[in-house]
Amino acid sequence: MRINPTPFHLDPRLQRRVVKGNVGDQHTEEPVGVEAGIVRKIDDLGRIVIPAETRRLFNIREGDQLLISIEGTGITIRKMESTCAFCGRTEDVMPFKGRGICNECRSQLH
């Protein structure tokens, strides 16, 4: 991802420096430097702890699924959002037999 940086600002939620820029036609806010992250050690089982403040900010709860992916020379962790297996919607999705289904598609099943 290439960012055209402009001056940074302090994100009041995390107290971090953020660069504003444009990627294609999308507006982005990307963390800059070490100030943007929190350093954590990996334990002997390969686990890391996500700080409580970060979990609250991204509404991550016990049992939530996180997607761990490799991007360039880094690792990205993202919260998996439930999606409807029929239409792909992410709003009002409930679990149904191991898959997600939104209210609209569920109402069409009756």
**Residue 38 three-state SS:** coil
**What is the tens place of the pLDDT at every residue in 49-77?**
999 998 998 888 898 888 899 988 999 88
**Under DSSP, is residue 68 helix (H, G, I), strand (E, B) or coil?**
strand
How far apart are alpha carbons 37 and 13 in whole angstroms? 13
pTM: 0.47
Domains delineated in the chain: 8-79 (2.10.260.10), 81-110 (no CATH)
Cβ 36 vs Cβ 15: under 8 Å? no
Q: What is the dihedral of CA 86, 92, 95, 99, to 10 degrees?
A: 20
Q: CB neighbours (10 Å) of residue 45?
A: 5
